[in-house]
Structures are given as structure tokens and as C-alpha cells.
Amino acid sequence: MDTHFTPLLLLTSVHLLLHISAHEFLLPGSALSVEDSSDMLHSPNGAFTCGFNNISHNAFVFSVWFTNTAEKTVVWSANRLQPVHSWGSKVLLDTDGGMVVKDYNGQLVWENGVYSSSNAEQAQLLDTGNLVVKGQGDIILWQSFDSPTDTLLPNQNITSSTKLVSANRLLVHGSYSFHFDDEHLLALFQDLKDTSFIYWPIPENNVWSKKGNSFRATTIGVLDSWGYFLGSDDLHFNASDWGLGVMRRLTLDYDGNLRLYSLNKPNGRWSVTWMAYLETCFVRGLCGMNGICVYTPRPACACAPGHEIIDQRDRSKGCRPKFSLSCSRKEMKFVKLPSTDFIGYDQSQYSLVSFLTCKKICLKDCSCKGFLYRDGNCYPKSFLGGGLSSPQLPGSFYLKLPKTLQVLASSIPHSQPSGPRYDPNCSVNADFLDKPESSHRGSQYLYLIYGFLSAIFCVEVIFVALGCWFILRRERKHLTGVWPAEVGYEMITNHFRRYTYTELQKATRKFKDEIGRGASGLVYKGVLRDKRAVAVKRLADIKQGEEEFQHELSVIGRIYHMNLVRV
């Protein structure tokens, strides 16, 4: 009897072993496929999972995420700007340690760049959340920790060759990054088209540490298991719930703020235990043009005196003047806004001038909308953007208005003495990115979140050339005027091409011929430069632009019609 049983048992255990190994290792020559949702790697402690993650119904990104969170929290992605299709896509490990992500048609969308002369043993997800490719003798040939996306995990080094880039929205690279600057100091950068500048730590405050640091050569920073971050430039911070045994992540959020989060294990939610910017109002674009961010003590938007809200539901659209400013000096007056500034947009700076001189400078210049006067320094401004009022701000702003306009003292935006907005023991006030849980701070809060989302979002064009998609392939050969972010739209085997707002404006003759309307917006007839007719849908609701966009995509994805090629 026994002799019959043994092979059977052996078979089962071998089978079991294979089964387990398929989930803990990826062996050379094997692959993870996108269709099989169980084709994932798990870290031995179960805290992290690695595999294909859907960012929409048919777009997938090879990622590492936390296994047990209420909302999926991705910590690393291979191809975050180039998602692959929902079938036929694969991650393959080669015997030389090379790891690649391939789209359904075999197109290479990501590779780890390893070509080892010795054989690779396996790819494995470690307990730390680090995805590694190991060679013989447990040598690490490649690790995901060396190419972070927007998140740094405990014990993951940030070095001169790595950087965090804020999460992308609509598959476009974020515009904020966190890395070492050329003086070996860690900083947050805003990356614009041709330039990038530091916005945190506030450059002026940082001069002293800059001086002391210029000859330092090491560049490394790491968050330890206790929740303490230390950089070689002495940048340091400590989690408010400092201690062992907490799952943490340091994420550069899409709003440009760097936040340290801790996981509340029972409910799987994150709370903020440290953040770079305590002052929400300093975040750019929150209240739009002519808007002023004030603390009540909660951040809120107000209009500059003499201005009115453009869109009640979307404060980031800002405010418009209720007057027209003539250029005659005699008809102008200035209204003082204490502790207020419109950051940026200085026309010029005049040092050591009297208040009267400063006033004259602004009066003389028709484009001057007002000026900041601070300790003998005069800053006339031509645009009223980035407005905020905070007791911390020295100096006052003087707003140019027509003499005839009545300004009540109560209409001058000011911040209440700011209460304990950020209390390390209570992350509630700090984590305005998270969904509000209690209702009493609900609506206003939500408002800010949305205002905020749209502030970032407004910048993105939300116009979708729906009718064009089935002919796009032909057009790809002569793409002109393509934005650098074009690659972001090359989603799912490049079926998409991004048209600039101007292109669509031209094609539709400034949205002239309305040919239909849907719940989410109007559809216009247009003609592309190469004379092909298209339908252009203009999404109306900016607040939910991204959701609308994804929704439209999935609707189109599901349409079957003999005259349409499937998306």
C-alpha cells in the first residue's frame, strides 16, 4: 500500500511547491501575464504585492502596491506613462537578468536594462516592498528601490541618481520632483517646460545651510524603520507617530506636497504624520486669478475687493473685476490689504524707495494692478495670481481700484488668527488630500479638495477628439506640434493622439457647429488640417474631468459598430 501512496504524495507536494513558487518568485524564462489576476508576486510577509494594476478598464501598469489598504496604494510602477493592454501583455524575466514589460503586440514598453553575464536566479518581492532580480549567490542585479516613482519606502535610499516625481494625472508626468540639487541638498522642485525651481525648503531660509554644505560630497537620504528621515545634507524630519512596527510611505503627492503617511492597520487608511508644507495657502493656484487664500483658520478662497467669483463651484477659476480700470491717474485709489501678497508676477523690484514713490510707479504704469510694499521695497505687479493672506507675511499689498468703487472694510480678506491647524497628534487637519470623514468639516473641505484638483487640472486640456480615434494610425506618420507630454497619451498601443486646444479650436472654428449633446458635454463638428471630418466632444465638468474622461473612454471601448474600428 505504502509504495503506491508515496509517489502520489510526492506529486502533490511538488505541485504545491510549484504553486507557491509561482507566487513568490519569477524564474528566468517565465512571465507574469496580464489576464491572469492571480499572476502576482507577494512579499513573504504579505505586505506587498506586485503585478499588473488596472488604471482603467483596459489599461494596465506593472506595479508594486500595499496588499492591505482600503484603496489600492501603488508604491512603484514600471511603465506608469505607458500602460499596456488588458490582454496579451506580459512581464518577462530573461536568463541574463533582464526584465521587460511587453504590450500585447510585443512592443517593449519598459526594461530594467540588465544584461548580466552570469545567470539570473529569480525575481522576488522582498518584505520591504523592494522588487529585486537576483543573480547567483544572491547578488542583486537590479532593484526597484533604485528607480522610485513618487514614493519612498522605509529603508529605501534616495541618492544623487534617483528622484521622486509627483504622480501623473491623465498619464502626464507630474510637474513636481524631489531630489538632490547640484549643491547636494535635497529639495522639492517645480519643473516647468524649460526651467525648474526650488519651492521647498523655502530658498531664502535655506541660504545658511547651503553655505555650510557646498563641499559635502555624499548624497544619500533614507527614512528609517522608526519613521525618522535623515539626509546627508542634514535635512531631517520625524513622524508624529514615531516608533517601530508602523507601515509608512513618503510620497510626493500630485499637489506638490511631500507627505509622510502611516497606515492605520484596522481600517486600511492612511494618515499624514508629517508634511513639507504646513501652509496650504502657499500652494500655487489654489484660488485662481484675483483670488486670495485665507485661513479661517481652515484654508478658504476669497476674492480681492472689487472682484466677484467666476464659478462658485470651482474657486480655482478665480475672480473677475467688477470694474474697468481706466488709465487716468486721477481716478485711481489704492486699497490696503494687510499681510497679503500675490506671490510671483513681480514686474520689477525697487529697493529703498518711499511708499509714495512706489505708489507713483504703479500709478504711472497702466498695466500695474497694485503693489507690495515691504520694508522700503516696492514690488509692482501686473497680475494678481497666487494670492494669499497670512499673519506670517510681512508687508501689505496695495490694490489699485477706481476711486468710485466703494470698498467695505469687511470685504478685505484677512486670515483669522490661525488656530492649531496642524497638530501632529491629530492628522485630521493636515491631510486635506484624504477624504474627509466627519461631516461637519465636509462641504467646505470637499470644496477645497475639488478646487484644488481643478487647479491642477485646469492646466490640462480636457478636450477629447472622439471622432478621430479610428483614423489615428494613419495620421501618426506626420505628427506635428506634438507636446512633450505626448508620450503620456500613447496609451494602449498608441491608439491615441493628443490634440492641442488650439488645434481643436481651429478644427471646430472655435466650437461653432454643434452637432449633438450628451450628459457630459457638447459635441462639435470639425475638420482637421488634412481635411478629414471629426466630431469633438467638449467635457463641461472640469471638476470631474478625469472621471468623465475615463468614462468616455470606456463607453467608446464598448461600442461595436460596423463603421467603427474598436478602441
Ligand X SMILES: *[C@@H]1O[C@H](CO)[C@@H](O)[C@H](O)[C@H]1NC(C)=O
Q: Which residues bind ligand X (CB under 6 A)?
A: 54-57, 145, 157, 228, 238, 240, 242, 424-425
Complete DSSP assignment for 410-434: GGS--PPPP----BTTBGGGT-TTS
Smaller CB separation from ligand X, 57 or 364? 57
Q: Phi and psi dihedrals of 423, rounded to 5?
A: -115, 115
Least spacing, CB of residue 448 vs ligand X, in Å: 24
Least spacing, CB of residue 274 vs ligand X, in Å: 10
Least spacing, CB of residue 346 vs ligand X, in Å: 39
Least spacing, CB of residue 421 vs ligand X, in Å: 16
Smaller CB separation from ligand X, 54 or 67? 54
Compute the CA torsion angle 199, 201, 207, 212 (nearest 10 deg). -140
Least spacing, CB of residue 130 vs ligand X, in Å: 6
Smaller CB separation from ligand X, 54 or 411? 54
Q: What is the DSSP letter of 304?
A: P
List the one residue out of 434, 495, 545 whose CA is nearest residue 169. 545
Query: How far is Cα 260 from Cα 239, in angstroms, rounded to an integer?
Result: 7
Alpha helical stretches, state H, 156-263: 207-213
Smaller CB separation from ligand X, 157 or 209? 157
Least spacing, CB of residue 56 vs ligand X, in Å: 5
Smaller CB separation from ligand X, 423 or 513? 423
β 84-85/74-77 pair status: unpaired
Smaller CB separation from ligand X, 268 or 402? 268
Q: Is the dihedral of CA 407, 313, 169, 184 positive or negative?
A: positive
Write the secondary structure of 319-357 as one string of H (helix), E (strand) and C (coil): EEECCCCCCCHHHEEEEEEECEEECCCECCCECCCCHHH
Least spacing, CB of residue 256 vs ligand X, in Å: 24
Single-letter amino acid code for the residue at 179: H
Can you say how many angstroms the Cα of residue 118 is from the centroid of all Cα atoms in its chain? Answer: 39
Query: How far is Cα 92 from Cα 62, in angstroms, rounded to an integer?
Result: 11
Query: How far is Cα 222 from Cα 152, in angstroms, rounded to an integer?
Result: 8
Provide the 3-class DSSP secondary structure of residue 236.
strand
Smaller CB separation from ligand X, 365 or 546? 546
Which whole-number Å values give the CA distances from 274 to 128, 200, 278, 299, in the listed order? 21, 14, 9, 18
Smaller CB separation from ligand X, 184 or 307? 184
Smaller CB separation from ligand X, 223 or 433? 223
Smaller CB separation from ligand X, 57 or 474? 57
Smaller CB separation from ligand X, 114 or 527? 114
35's CB contacts (< 8 A; 6+ apart) are 86, 87, 88
User: How many other β-carbons are positioned within 10 Å of the β-carbon of residue 552?
Assistant: 17
Q: What is the DSSP letter of 499?
A: P
Q: Which residues of 161-199 are buried (b: 16+ CB within 10 A; e: fewer)?
A: ebbbbbbbbbbbbbbbbbbbeeebbbbbbbeeeeeeeeb
Smaller CB separation from ligand X, 144 or 251? 144
**Grid-cell match 525697487, residue found:** 350
Least spacing, CB of residue 41 vs ligand X, in Å: 18
Smaller CB separation from ligand X, 84 or 283? 84
Q: Phi and psi dihedrals of 566, rounded to 5?
A: -70, 140
Least spacing, CB of residue 220 vs ligand X, in Å: 6
Least spacing, CB of residue 231 vs ligand X, in Å: 12
Alpha-carbon radius of gyration of the chain: 28
Smaller CB separation from ligand X, 156 or 280? 156
List the one residue out of 416, 414, 421, 418 whose CA is nearest residue 396. 414
Can you say how many angstroms the Cα of residue 323 is from the centroid of all Cα atoms in its chain? Answer: 36
List the one residue out of 319, 383, 374, 371 whose CA is nearest residue 351. 374
